[in-house]
Structure 1
Amino acid sequence: MSDTTVPWTVEPMRVGDVRDVCRLLREADTSLGVELTAESIQRRRIRQWVLGPKPVMHVALARDDRGTTAGFATYCFLWPSEGHLALCVKILFVSSGHRRRGAGSALMRALHAEAAAHECTRVEWFALSDDAVGRAFCASLGARLHEGRICYTLPSTSDPLTPWLH
């Protein structure tokens, strides 16, 4: 694909976008080597977590000038985040056939505007340490690496006190 930038439209996900988001999630998971989730489960989760009465996540979609959904970003708001509100991007993904055409930058510009509209003091996100292309993209946005943070995860089905109780 060429480096030609195309006009992008970025807008919030709607009910009619579930199929496109499932397609992009499948491509993202495949590229990361993640075990694929059945599409019926993905649809149920999206309807509950994003489109339901109490959304826990927001999704922004990037569409090209033909209306093709080429990328998405999932995000939420965190508070307190160093005493202020922050927009936290969980996933930024652009389909392989649409990369290097400005979709990722368009998504990040839209998220930055969303953060400003909510008086956030910053936009933050994680990148995979072995993803040189993704890290270069982050740097191209003017983002700085926050050396002082390490990400931990703990399965929600486990008891965090278990190691100390035995």
Structure 2
Amino acid sequence: MVEISKATEADVEVISVILGEIEEYYGGENIPGDLGQIRTALFSEQPAATVLLARDGETVLGLASYSRLWPAAGADTSLYLKELYVREAARRRGVARALMAELRKAAGRLGCSRLEWTADTDNPTALALYEALGVTPHQGKIFYRA
């Protein structure tokens, strides 16, 4: 049974390990994230993001990291999904779907008018998931990184 909950400061170490796995997934080295940076980003007075963790008992299966963005449409706020990641052993078990469902609920609780995210064009598994969820790509934006 997959259970989704908001990460707490007690989860910093497992988040660190998963960040290393994410780096490796995208072709980098599997080096865990810096614990101090994670604590500051997630649990300081003004956190940069919120992390949801998917668990099966004590085992963390995956995570979703999001932030609120403003303005979205007019003066609305949107929930921006920065990272959705399911650990290899837990893939194809509905974990990503459960995380996406909880993200939609979080957006509603936070008064966000929409949920937004990007996906790599060379990640067919992610693209298939989003298509299966009934979401079509938005063609009106180009992503930049400086």
Structure-2-length-normalised TM-score:
0.94
Question: Which amino acid in 1 is paired with 2:143?
Answer: C
Q: For residue 88 of structure 2, what is the aligned residue in structure 1?
A: 96
Conserved 8 A contact 2:52-2:63: yes
Distance 1:76 1:54 in 2: 12
Distance 1:92 1:104 in 2: 7
The question of 1:34 aligning with 2:25 is answered: no
Aligned length: 145
The question of 1:60 aligning with 2:47 is answered: no
Find the structure with the greater CA-based Rg: 1
Structure-1-length-normalised TM-score:
0.83
1:34, distance to aligned residue in structure 2 (A)? 2.6
CA RMSD of aligned residues (A): 1.2
Q: For residue 153 of structure 1, what is the aligned residue in structure 2?
A: 145
Question: For structure 2, which runs of at least 5 residues remain unmatched after alignment?
Answer: none
- Percentage of matched positions with identical amino acids: 33
- Structure 1, residues 21-47: CA drift from partner, whole Å, max 9, x if none? 11111111101013555x4x6211110
1:80 is paired with a residue whose SS is coil
1:51, distance to aligned residue in structure 2 (A)? 1.1
From 123, 143, 146, the counterpart of 2:135 = 143
Question: Larger RCO: Structure 1 or Structure 2 (Cα < 8 Å, ≥ 6 residues apart)?
Answer: 1
The question of 1:72 aligning with 2:66 is answered: no
Question: For structure 1, which runs of at least 5 residues remain unmatched after alignment?
Answer: 1-6, 155-166
From 58, 82, 97, the counterpart of 2:73 = 82
Structure 1 residue runs of 4+, over 3 Å off? none
Distance 2:77 2:134 in 1: 20
Question: Which amino acid in 2 is paired with 1:28?
Answer: I
